[in-house]
Amino acid sequence: MAAMNQPPQQPASMPPLGAMLCFSVYAAGLAFNRLYRGLLERFGLTYPQFLVLVALREKDGRRVNELGETLFLESNTLTPLLKRMEQAGLISRHRDSRDERVVRVSLTAKGAELVAGMGCVAPQVAGATGMDIGDIPALTAKLNALGSALRQQAQG
């Protein structure tokens, strides 16, 4: 009976939480979300809405599925997000004239004006990292490679 009251043994190969890459990335992601929440509040945007606007600023008129692939968002998450943004007048969704099965997303004048006025956000985020600005591109490249490798592994 005494053995049943003992906690299970942790595998020797399990590092402490603070040493796990997955936890560090997760915790940094949470911190970014909190930071962006405060910075985007004055623009009336959520972080996913901000990402949609930035993606459309880079390439307007994207197909919905292309936008989902770019942002790593599933259709069941992206569709209601786009609907709310359309209702707010930030984007428009329209059928492709060459293929009506394809829905394209474009910035409206209001959306373009909003994203143009958010130029202060990136420098504030960069400053909040406490990192040298020159180190950020290399870290970003490493994180992009990490994400790509993990997505490939997850797909089989």
* Number of domain units in the chain: 1
Instruction: Report the predicted TM-score, pTM, of the whole model to 2 decimal places.
Output: 0.86
Do the domain assignments include residue 71? yes
Q: Which domain holds residue 76?
A: 32-126
pLDDT of residue 42: 95
pLDDT of residue 13: 83
Do the domain assignments include residue 116? yes
Do the domain assignments include residue 11? no
pLDDT of residue 12: 67
Do the domain assignments include residue 54? yes
Alpha helix ranges (H) inside 13-135:
21-40, 47-58, 64-71, 75-87, 109-116, 121-128
Q: How far is CA 90 from CA 49, 57, 87, in A?
A: 10, 12, 8
pLDDT of residue 108: 98
Mean pLDDT by 10 residues, the chain (156 residues): 64 85 96 96 96 97 96 95 98 93 96 96 95 95 96 92
pLDDT of residue 113: 97
Do the domain assignments include residue 66? yes
Domain at 63, CATH number: 1.10.10.10
Do the domain assignments include residue 12? no
Do the domain assignments include residue 154? no
